[in-house]
Amino acid sequence: MRPAKERIVEKPPKIQGMKPMGVPGRLLEKISLSIDEYEAIRLSDFEGMDHKASSEYMNISRPTFTRLLQSGHQKIADAIVNVKDLIIEGGNYSFTKILIRCLDCKAVSDIGAYHTDETLCPECNSTNVVCLNNVFQPGHCNRRRNFGGHGFRNQ
């Protein structure tokens, strides 16, 4: 079996998961939705892109995209029907953009791929910000990588 190809993901999810209301987390079984499954759902169901365009965007084959989408749908259905804690984590991916959350004004801002200052909120100029990319790939905001045209330029 060959290794999985790295999938291109535009930006990190704004949350790490979702929990059913009214049930303590310690009582819930957990189910993991991978970052690439999340991206397939975002592109197809939220953005309304077709499978061909979505697969090209993620730099994967159309059948692989369809498998990711079906797997993601199954996991979300399982989490809803069987009352599970849905955790977004894992996968083989690269982000193309940086997303930050301001802890003062609570804004979530897409600061793009080539932005040089991940420490300043574009909404209120606060320096009390968290890079959401780091939640999923620790150290991501402190490095520059070349993604072959998708993402950061070497600096």
**Strand, helix or coil for residue 5:** coil
Digit-coded pLDDT (tens) for 57-69: 999 999 999 999 9
Tokens 């939220």 map to which residue? 46
Q: Measure the CA–CA gap between 100 and 34, rounded to whole angstroms.
A: 20
Amino acid at 123: E
Cβ contact 142:116 at 8 Å? no
pLDDT in tens, 69-118: 999 999 999 999 999 999 999 888 888 888 888 999 988 888 776 555 66
How is residue 94 written in tokens?
């690269």
- Please say if the pLDDT value at position 50 is more than 60: yes
Query: Domain 7-93: which topology?
Result: Arc Repressor Mutant, subunit A (1.10.10)
Strands 85-88 and 30-33: parallel
pLDDT for 116 equals 55
Ranges of each domain in the chain: 7-93, 97-142
What is the model's pTM?
A: 0.79
Per-residue confidence (pLDDT) for residue 140, from 0 to 100? 65
